[in-house]
Structure 1
Amino acid sequence: MAEFTFHHGGVSVPSLDEAIDWYGRVLGFEVEKRFYIAAAKSHTAMLRKGPLRFEIFEVEGAAALPEDRRSPPADLRTHGNKHVAFRVEDLELFLAEMEAKQVDIAFVVRESFGKGCFIRDCAGNLIEFVEEPDA
């Protein structure tokens, strides 16, 4: 089988500039490059934080994110891509930082199988963060 590695996740937003600001201020991503995808009518930016990349699309005439896509339990009832997830060392420390930045925390899980949370970006897109104990 051919080898491959993860390259990036992507989200569509109503305002590229607002999303670039949010992902930079809240999560520490920086703009790697900006470009226009004519076939999609999308003003686009590739953001980067170390080895992580996130592609942000502002598509002309795009529909707003439906309400059921803003809640993790409701979103799972619709087929398709759900979210990206990032690992954090300490969920409680991460949550405190997000609260201090007044981030919209959508859902927190503290179960025997693991701990994690979902936050919403400035457009309502879900992003998961998990605390995974070292094996």
Structure 2
Amino acid sequence: MSELSAHHVGLTVERLDRAVDFYRDVLGLDVVSRFSVGGEAFATGVGVDGASAEFAHLDAGGVRVELVSYDPEGDHVADSTVTVNQPGAAHVGLSTADLDAFYESLPDTVEPQSPPQRTESGTRILFLRDPEGNLVEVLEA
């Protein structure tokens, strides 16, 4: 078997521009590229008849975050009732050297689940949601 390496973490979003604005302006990630993909091979590959999609790739310090908006759009599943302990739940994990400074810099439109917390392992964490309802964990490294 050939070796695998990480390429990206992907999140499906409803409004690509809104999601890009959040990940770029609030979380400080750099937009690496934006592109669209369609055609029969893509639709067959993703298992959605007639699918096409708009993509944005952002650099999260060695990890690529891929935001993708599909046409046709599927049913919305991420909302405030989805929690990290539910099978199938996903989140993006990012780190910062100063979690308190990050927390204080959040705009009023972003409501974290709690102030920064120190876990039993000693790690400081903060969870928030992007404008699409996806969970984002920020931890102090």
**Common fold: TM-score over 0.5:** yes
Q: Which amino acid aligns with 1:110?
A: R
In 2, the alpha carbon distance for the partners of 1:29 and 1:89 equals 15
* Residues 45-64 of structure 1: CA deviation (Å, up to 9, x unaligned): 11224433210011122211
Q: Report the counterpart of residue 30 of structure 2 in structure 1.
A: 30
8 Å Cα contact 1:8/1:54 also seen in 2: yes
Contact 1:86–1:130 (CA under 8 A) maintained in structure 2: yes
In structure 1, what is the equivalent of residue 70 of structure 2?
59
Q: CA deviation at 1:81?
A: 4.8
Structure 1 unmatched runs, 5+: none
The structure that has the greater radius of gyration is 2
The structure with more helix, counted as a fraction of residues: 1
TM-score norm. by structure 1 comes to: 0.77
**1:111 aligned onto 2:119:** yes
What TM-score, normalized to structure 2?
0.74
**Equivalent position of 2:132 in the other structure:** 123
Alpha carbons of 1:121 and 1:112: their partners in 2 closer, same or farther (altered >3 Å)? same
Give the letter aligned to residue 37 of structure 1. Answer: V
Distance in structure 1 (CA, Å) of the matches to 2:133 and 2:4: 30
- Alignment match, 2:7: 7
Conservation of the 8 A alpha-carbon contact between 2:32 and 2:56: yes
**5+ residue gaps, structure 2:** 44-50
Distance 1:88 1:105, change over 3 A: same
Q: Percent identity?
A: 32
Q: Deviations over 1:9-50 (max 9, x none)?
A: 111111111111111111122322222232242111112244
Q: Are residues 50 and 110 of structure 1, via their aligned partners in 2, closer, same or farther at CA, if it must alter by over 3 Å?
A: closer
What is the Cα deviation at residue 127 of structure 1? 0.8
Aligned-pair Cα RMSD in Å: 2.3
User: How many residues align structurally?
Assistant: 126
